[in-house]
Structure 1
Amino acid sequence: MDATGEEIRFERRGALGLVVLDRPKALNALSRGMCASFRRQLDLWEADPAVTRVAVRSSSARAFCAGGDIRHIYACGREGREADLYGFWEAEYGLVARVQRFAKPYVALVDGLVMGGGVGISLHGSHRVASERYSFAMPEVGIGLFPDVGMTHALPRLPGRMGLYIALTGGRVGPGDALALGLATDFAPAAAFDALLDRLAEGGPVEAALAVPGERPAPGPLSAQAAPIEACFSAGSVAAILERLDAAGTAFARETAATIRTRSPTSLCIAFEQMRRGGAMSFPEAILAEFRLVTRVMDGHDFYEGVRAAVIDKDNAPVWQPDRLDGVDLAAVAAAFGPASRPEPRFA
């Protein structure tokens, strides 16, 4: 049995409920409709005793999911379509929260690029299987946003200061480092995914179905930089982190500092505060905080400028406001974690 939509498909295979992301031209960017139908299907499968596990995969080898539909969000904001704008954020964050509390095994088969909302619908499930082409990133500070979709909760719980490094740089993470950090729980070559799904459909133990012969990738270049990341990113502010990177003088430190300096100063300060607060937050508290933050960001300048520079005009030359860290109102950043001026959804 399967249900087919234009962008997402749902199939029943024995004991398995399978979600197939099928929007390849947009790298499976999540639309509001995709989020809503996905969430409804999870409700149905959780209530169905014949479905004992769920898996999600992409129809394309290029990307698992590149995130939310940023072009659509940009257009809604620019055109003043607030109902559509906040309807998207409620739908995406609601889906992510639903994945996190899904009561049955949830297996994300991640082949290719996984960013933003794609991380949200994979990382918070019980099992994350990385392929050899796995490439994780949360690059939101580069478009004037912030690491959302539950990253306020997840990133502070990574080893050492790795979560803060990922939040402030938006750097890519490959399969070896993902396994070392816990972003992925299992590894399988992409060519083995079909057989893996067949085993899941048979209804036996999930862990046995995910066991694939062969070596797991060793920790990669990010893990090799754990010591300098800990030394530099343990500083008490973004500015202090940059000072430590500058003083370190290594090629890694120089490249990292240069990357951070291209990001939105406001977004960097928001992300730093997320990482500082998030370790003490429950998942529902973290998602609610992100909704509160996004209402402020949508009323600001940097998100629209960042998307313009990266996606619309593609000149990669954003003009941030303010354009320096010392121009960011840190009191306003802290206040952005408080209640929003619009009705707040419940994500519990």
Structure 2
Amino acid sequence: MTDEVIIEKHERVGHISLNRPKALHALTLEMCHAMSAALSEWADDDSLEAVILDHHDGRGFCAGGDIAFLRNSALNDGGVSGRKFFHDEYQLNHQMFTYGKPIVAFMDGITMGGGVGISQPCKFRVATENTRFAMPETGIGLFPDVGGGWYLSRLGGRMGQFLALTGARLDGSECLWTGLATHYVPSEMLGEIKARIIEHPDRIAGILSEPVGTPPKARIEGNADKIIKHFASDRYEDILASLEAAMGEDDWAMKERDTLGTKSPQTCKVALRQLAESAQLTDFADNMRMEYRIASRVLTRPDFAEGVRAVIVDKSNDPKWDPATPEGVTDALLDEIFAPLPEGEEWVPLK
């Protein structure tokens, strides 16, 4: 086990608290293993009725996965340890998605990447005024994984495609409006809410639904029609052309087109195809199998190491994408990224 995850049991409620504050609780492989082991143990514990998932200290909830570890793997071991990380992280994502007892995730703070992967499978997803939700992977040459294809493709109004491509950040009220959160609670009430859930785990829905004030208006609602219009196509070039056509009279379109200009063309096209294919799936395990195929290929392609260098390591924000243009990302390249893995290497959920 690891001290980066605090695992406790309060009578009828299990409590998993992320505890890596200096890294904004970004997930390591050891943290994933610790969480998975606790959930496995509690699944067979008839005295336990529910699980609380939160962060222990600092600005949370969870900023993602261990990007530095993944980049090191891409550069130094051909992606072997990185694929192991993805494999086991996805096992945790699937375990939570299929878990037989309700999990309450408190997304109080930054909830990005891997943090999305451990909050979205939960039956109850609580946002606050501190929530900052995003899937920013296209900016570092990755893609919205950890089940992102499943969750984003099932949002209405092309919202998932917009979030996947731009990496836009949503606040708590926007998460509630889009359905990414099930409830909104002011952060000052979280201690009381958690205490009441521990006391009455059979009344979680009622406790979270009691009047806690009206959340602020969701700002993104004002741009919903523009998102539907400009992000309507599953063809990346169409989205860019739609935004460009509106740039003369629409500052929002100009801003979003400029944003897309900073993203990896490869992973933007990957994300659009990922969401289109995921929307057709009926089994979450099939989605994770697809995402593991993508991750296994994208990890060692040039854009990931280069994107992390430019955005996170050097902070120069000058990535040299390869291919450099959307037109350079061919259907043949996408087919290669999405193709089945060799026999024995596919992702299979643990029983």
TM-score (ref. length: structure 2): 0.95
Offset of 1:146 from its aligned partner?
Answer: 0.5
SS in 2 for 1:118: helix
1:89-168 alignment runs, 5 A limit: 89-168=86-165
Q: 161-170 vs 187-196, which deviates more?
A: 187-196
2:186 and 2:4 map into 1 onto residues whose CA distance is 25
Offset of 1:212 from its aligned partner?
Answer: 4.4
1:333 and 1:111 map into 2 onto residues whose CA distance is 36
Q: 215-224 vs 148-157, which deviates more?
A: 215-224
SS in 1 for 2:338: coil
1:308 maps to what in 2? 309
1:72-91 alignment runs, 5 A limit: 72-80=69-77, 82-91=79-88
1:195 maps to what in 2? 192
1:265 maps to what in 2? 265
SS in 2 for 1:90: helix
1:312-348 CA distance string (max 9 Å, x none)? 1111110001111111122221332221236122126
1:307 and 1:301 map into 2 onto residues whose CA distance is 11
Aligned residue pairs total 345
2:348 maps to what in 1? 346
1:27-72 CA distance string (max 9 Å, x none)? 1010001101101111111111111000110112412000000011
2:296 and 2:289 map into 1 onto residues whose CA distance is 11
1:27 and 1:13 map into 2 onto residues whose CA distance is 25
1:10-29 alignment runs, 5 A limit: 10-29=7-26
Is contact 2:29–2:88 with CA below 8 Å preserved after alignment? yes
SS in 2 for 1:284: helix
What letter is aligned with 1:188?
V
Runs ≥4 residues deviating over 4 A: none
What letter is aligned with 1:226?
A
2:189 and 2:43 map into 1 onto residues whose CA distance is 26
Q: 57-66 vs 116-125, which deviates more?
A: 57-66
Unaligned runs of 5+ in 1: none
Unaligned runs of 5+ in 2: none
1:249-328 alignment runs, 5 A limit: 249=247, 250-281=250-281, 282-328=283-329
2:284 and 2:316 map into 1 onto residues whose CA distance is 37
Is contact 1:32–1:92 with CA below 8 Å preserved after alignment? yes
1:236 and 1:207 map into 2 onto residues whose CA distance is 37
Offset of 1:222 from its aligned partner?
Answer: 1.3
1:237-292 CA distance string (max 9 Å, x none)? 11111111111231111101110111001001101101211111121111110000
What letter is aligned with 1:304?
A
Offset of 1:218 from its aligned partner?
Answer: 3.9
What letter is aligned with 1:333?
L
1:142 and 1:330 map into 2 onto residues whose CA distance is 21
Q: CA RMSD in A?
A: 1.4
1:48-63 alignment runs, 5 A limit: 48-63=45-60
What letter is aligned with 2:233?
A
1:67 maps to what in 2? 64
What letter is aligned with 1:170?
G
Offset of 1:201 from its aligned partner?
Answer: 1.1
What letter is aligned with 1:315?
S
What letter is aligned with 1:33?
E
Relative to structure 1, the CA distance from residue 61 to residue 24 in structure 2 (aligned partners, 3 Å threshold; closer, same or farther) is closer
Q: Name the % identity.
A: 36
What letter is aligned with 1:263?
K
1:82 and 1:305 map into 2 onto residues whose CA distance is 15
2:226 maps to what in 1? 228
Offset of 1:215 from its aligned partner?
Answer: 2.1
TM-score (ref. length: structure 1): 0.96
1:236 and 1:148 map into 2 onto residues whose CA distance is 18
